[in-house]
Amino acid sequence: MIFIFVFWVWSLPKLSQPDEKSAAEQEKIIDNLKQLKNDVPTLWQSLGAGIGSIFESVKQGLENQPSNSSSAPQNPVQERLPVE
């Protein structure tokens, strides 16, 4: 038990000191997050424009299609009554 306690006390200062490598990695991560924060509004605008374009093209496609109720029947034979 004394050996474990001595090992713990010996390793304690090493755990409390910040590692230069991990500090550089943390700084890189923070820079990436800042860049992402700056890019998110642009991403949302692009996504909104793309979705708006899709809806607009679907709307135009529906407006350009002839409706079945206002057009003449495609097969006039079906409209006749059967002859007995």
Confidence at residue 31, expressed as pLDDT on a 0 to 100 scale: 93
Torsion of CA 22, 23, 29, 32, to 10 degrees: -140
Model confidence band, residue 43 (pLDDT cutoffs 50, 70, 90): confident
Predicted confidence (pLDDT) at residue 69 exceeds the cutoff of 60: no
Among 12, 28, 10, 31, residue whose Cα is nearest residue 20: 28
Model confidence band, residue 34 (pLDDT cutoffs 50, 70, 90): very high
Confidence at residue 76, expressed as pLDDT on a 0 to 100 scale: 54
